[in-house]
Copies of this chain bind each other. A is one copy, B any other.
Amino acid sequence: MHPLDHALRLEAAGTGRLRGEVPHAYWNMVGPYGGITAAIVLDGVLRDARHIGEPLVLTVNYCAPVRDAPFELVLRLARTNRSTQHWSIEMQQADAKDAGAAPVTVVQAQVVMGVRRALWSHPGIDPPSLPAPETLRRRLPREGIRWFENYDIRLERNPMNGDEPDAPVCSWLRDDPPRPLDYPALAGLADTFFPGIFAHRKAIVPIATVSMNVYFHTTADELAAIGGDWLSGRTGSGVYRGGFFDCASQIWHRESLIATTQQVVWYRD
């Protein structure tokens, strides 16, 4: 079983409730990788028989580190319209310090689903021009950061070198081993971008994602047709103020912009 599919094994626990286990294969420093948490949240909605359409927007706010313990997803379907549907989702875990206490919310999320129709369309910005993936070195994980093993990320250049820390960082990216692309996988890939602050500070400073948005621009059929092919990505540098920075990134398959994503990240200098 692919590590992503292993991570997405959720068990129904009544209407709007799913149970799961924290995926060790996607372990980060003090909890699971934020992208896998985003994938799990989105998968929760897609598994719910009440859902309509396809994901448009995924908002994930990381409230607290996800512990190495079982979790529950609590889904609330607020509204179903003809073209859109609105969900809120919480990931909850037992209180580590007090087993008798109410569960703790570790993630607050919202998902907007949309029914795409055959209408006038217009593509987004063009992808970066990158050398072939075979000619670029794979980004290597630091010791103990397991989630890296599940993504093949090939940066165009080492962002820690050079004098332009604001310059966009472009890359190839895909699951490793390659896996048919779907919305949860794309949500996971949306969190793989190089944190701009490392380039600015020329150091690995402490960071933690506070909020992530993923905007999906493609249909399920188009995602399925991509399969395990390489995607290209670009991440820009945002504003760094008072301990929080933002960054915007894009993901393409060939010429097609399939997702854009925005993060707010806590940092220390």
Contact = CB atoms under 8 A, between A and B. Distances in A.
A121 B61 contact: no
Given A57-B264, A260-B246, A239 B124 contact: yes
Contacts of A118: 242
A11 interface: no
Given A211-B57, A213-B262, A262-B213, A240 B110 contact: no
Interface residues of A, number: 58
A209 B211 CA distance: 21
Nearest to A122: B240
A116 interface: yes
Interface string A87-124: 01010000000000000110010101011111111111
* This protein's copies in its complex: 2
Given A57-B211, A78-B63, A242-B119, A84 B114 contact: no
A240 B56 contact: no
A267 B84 CA distance: 12
A24 interface: no
A157 interface: no
Contacts of A200: 122
Contacts of A121: 240-242
Nearest to A238: B124
Interface centre among A61, A63, A105 (most CB of B within 10 A): A61
A79 B64 contact: yes
Interface stretch (A129-137, A177-185, A214-222): A214-222
Given A116-B242, A241-B116, A264 B88 contact: no
Given A78-B90, A112-B210, A239-B257, 6 more contacts: A56-B210, A57-B211, A86-B105, A116-B244, A121-B240, A121-B241
